[in-house]
Structure 1
Amino acid sequence: ELVSAAMWSTAQYLWSIGSGPVYRWTRGQTRISIVAPDSQMEALQFPSVCAALADAGETAADAAADMNGQRRRLEYVRRVLERRVADLQKDLDEADDVDLLDRVGNSLMAATDHIAAGTKGVIPDVHDAHGEATLEIELAPGVTAAQQAARLLRRAAKLRRRANVLPPRLHRVRELIFETEQLLDALLDEDTIAEEVMTRWERRVEVRQSAAVEVRQGATLPGETAGGTGGSTEGRHGAHPRRYLTSTGWSVWAGRNNRENDIVTHRLAAQNDVWFHAHGYAGSHVILRREGRKQEPSRQTLEEAAAVAAYWSKGRTANKVPVVYTLAKYVSKPKGAVPGLAVMKRERTIMARPALLAEEERQT
């Protein structure tokens, strides 16, 4: 369903004229051609139409997952802002009592000689909120009329300041809610929002970064339930990384998007798994899984895993890509950092030609 009828029509035409390099444009609508693109156009080369269509489908699935995560983050921001509006409105409503508090405080101050500490007394010429009767006040034990009057006047002064400050704040938060809803509308139109725009927006509305990150990492792919599907390790984390096998039988896992990169690196990887990433390019976090092995991976195994990291990166069209690797225990995520960001140490670099391996059969 991810591949449109137009794409199938193009595929049938390409199949009918033989094999050879196939190109897929990376911007705008999905376009596949056997004609090499202009040097200024951004396109990826594939060995076959099937490979190009499979990549287009995976790209569309990744975009859908990112869009779903962004929607959840924006909905979380909207809920935070709506709570702020409710709190500000409550504080503003309390400020309506400022005039009454002023009158009571001033009248009580004038009547200090008539009301003893800890007793009940009537304050003349001061009516209740309905204006129907004189106001009766009861002082707490040990509290004099002067002390109570001072408290009331301080409270009135505080509410008066609040009445001046809160309306502009309330208006501002309501504007932020409106702008958040505009971003949500953009997602309904299937316009993916750039990650840096999302991060700036969360900072602008002052949403706690730790909470925002939890929402990002908690987003599930379309069709998944919270916590993943099935009983597999990666399924319980709501992630389904690409899985391959090296020629020597080692498992290689690659994240499909920034959210999965976080899960692969910080939840699924064992301490001594080997972690890979294309140096200088955005791309997948890749792990070479030891699965209990005590021996070190061979040079060939490292190169094959690095080739996967190079392939699932923006450097895929390069002849060779520098790939850094280190043990997973030396990879960390700064507190509050955006999804996919990682800091490593003790890394080494290997030059790899972008390539894929045989897919690992999933266990059910």
Structure 2
Amino acid sequence: MPFDGLTLYAVTRELKERLTGSRIERVYQPAALEVILVCRRYREKYHLLAAATADAARVHLTETDRRNPAKIPFFCSTLRRHLEGCRVSEVAQPGLERILHLTLTGTDAAGRPVTYRLVAEIMGKHSNIILVDAAENKILDAIKRYSHALSRYREVLPGQPYVPPPPTGKKDPREPGAEEFTVALTAYGPATEVAAAIQRTYEGFSLFSAREVVCRAELPPDVTLGECGVYEYRRLYAAFRDLVTGVTQGTAVPALVVANGLPVDFAPFTPAQYGGEQIQGPLNRLIDRFYTIKAEITTFRTQKQRLMETVSREIKRLNRKLDEVTVLLDDPDADRYRLYGELLMANLYRLEAGAKEALLENFYLPTLPLVAIPLDPALTPAQNAQRYFKKYAKARAARAYAAQEKERLEEELAYLSGVTTAIEQAGELRDLDEIAAELAEQGYLPARPPAPKERKAHPVPLQLSSTEGYTILVGKNNRQNDYVTFRLAAPGDIWLHARGVPGAHVILKTGGQDPSPQALAEAAALAAYFSQARGARSVPVDWTRRANVQRPKGARPGFVTYTSEKTLYADPAAAAALLHRSGATPAAPDPTE
């Protein structure tokens, strides 16, 4: 739901309990329009997030770790200079506006008492975070600065007086009686939907909250004012009063609406307009979970698209070069140049200097057909022959180079085809990050500078249990493939891979013993499922002992050779049940690392 005034009221209630009297330890700005205040109260530490993004403006406590930029933004520096060491004396919301005031007290560099007010305005694309000197009502800085050139109502610039956003003119929903409620709604035309009338009339209500009133009144969601009589208005007012009282007095139970395991909405009350699963709990925690998962999904899709575009672009470039190389290999000029030179040398006695063409018999063919050979009149017949031999040598060298280049291009295309499969089948952002790191190492992406004190994380392959209790490891990309094969697998374990197509390295941990047919079939199904042949019904899968798998020197990530293999056929669809039943988990790290 939109982060409306009712939501902010419930959030503010929780923030008052946790932040009042806390001390600001640190300020971070992990994104251009996001700020985090680290607040400590007694032994508890809280992270207050304020975001001014157009599509996700909000204020709430967060437990999600965020990566901070290497260079500290200027607004963050301003907040650190003024706020670190201050104490939160008040958390307030003016009325039911989408504005939060965080009042902080401390001392300046000279030891004099100062009071600051951090204002979070949650208003869609007009959202802002503004630091104000409370004593003078003067703006010290804002995360979004703008002048009268952008807004005729106010300027948000350092040194200017702070002017709140223009009033909405809406009524306070905590005040009206039943009669006033009815009169306020009937001021709109009879064709107006009830939910829209409530949203336009009362402060703090988004369209979602207004529809909740209609739903609790047991009326159709699109009911209009003209369809309502005394009975309907009585039910609407009762639902309206129940909703407002529940939120403002803290008796309403916040809820997170979940569908297919993913959060789809949240509310400061338990929404009756949604069926299905709902998770109840503190609103700050529910909002944090909602936006964290939403950000992860957005980041996952963006990263996946970026990687696919990068790899697709490289594949197109390599295919163009491969076409050029193939044309060079199929070029018949090299053999023709050699023939011209040999025919000229064999017939020097018949040729005259200055001729533009020589018509000679091709003695390599039994019919002795005549061959027309272009000549340079400025050269002697012998020099013309040498000219063709030089062209032949050059064309033959180009053909040899083209053969080597074709092999290199086909190898690189096979590698990128495997990367494409890994990207398509990636299920977590962590998988995409590993692929991005690999592409950076191979030069396809610019290398990302490591963060200070950042340790290189090991790959995290899947770990499953077979029906009989065998441990199965699955590498979902090239880095994971190398990791499970050469770090996690013992020489006597079983190694599996779909034959002839890019896919996962699968390890069946047997402790050197022969695997059972069922465990081998399940591991083969996983190898088929995590391969380019996932859509097939029957996929050939090679398997051998891990000791028979080698990585050639200088090979690209994920490339191996193997011997003593056997082949069985597996249905990729059989892996889905195993994945669902066992619950895939990250494999344990290599203890030697």
Shorter-chain TM-score range? 0.3 to 0.5
Give TM-score scaled by structure 2 length: 0.27
Richer in strand (by share)? 2
Structure whose alpha-carbon radius of gyration is higher: 2
TM-score (normalised: structure 1):
0.43
Question: Which structure would you say has the larger RCO, counting Cα contacts within 8 Å and 6 or more residues apart?
Answer: 1
